[in-house]
Amino acid sequence: QQQVKQSPQSLIVQKGGISIINCAYENTAFDYFPWYQQFPGKGPALLIAIRPDVSEKKEGRFTISFNKSAKQFSLHIMDSQPGDSATYFCAASRSNTGNQFYFGTGTSLTVIP
């Protein structure tokens, strides 16, 4: 059973546009929701993360929106750039434990110049 569902599988955006990736989870015990960015041949790297006590977190052009009641969260990339072309994974976990992170299946983002 997929603990975290991610969509879309792939996304093509024009340079300067907004990229939006969505995730949904079931386990209400999750309290830490990171997003990872992965370039070809590299390991995933932590991009931004949010806790359920806030509805939005922004870091530069990257914003996480969190809807606790709907059990959904999304990544918005503003002013998308060709260098943002990568695979993005959402994840969820219970913090303060060593328990596993549950990952979405990934979204391949291509930003066209």
Partner 1 sequence: DAGITQSPRHKVTETGTPVTLRCHQTENHRYMYWYRQDPGHGLRLIHYSYGVKDTDKGEVSDGYSVSRSKTEDFLLTLESATSSQTSVYFCAIKGAGAGGYTFGSGTRLTVV
| Residue ranges in contact with partner 1 by CB under 8 A | 6, 32, 34, 36, 41-46, 49, 89, 91, 95-96, 98, 100-101, 103-106
Closest CB 96 distance from partner 1, rounded Å: 6
Closest CB 77 distance from partner 1, rounded Å: 18
> Based on CB atoms, which residue is closest to partner 1, 101 or 110?
101
Cβ-based neighbour number of residue 100 at 10 Å: 10
> Based on CB atoms, which residue is closest to partner 1, 32 or 61?
32
Closest CB 76 distance from partner 1, rounded Å: 19
**Separation CA 12–CA 81 (nearest Å):** 11
> Based on CB atoms, which residue is closest to partner 1, 59 or 79?
59
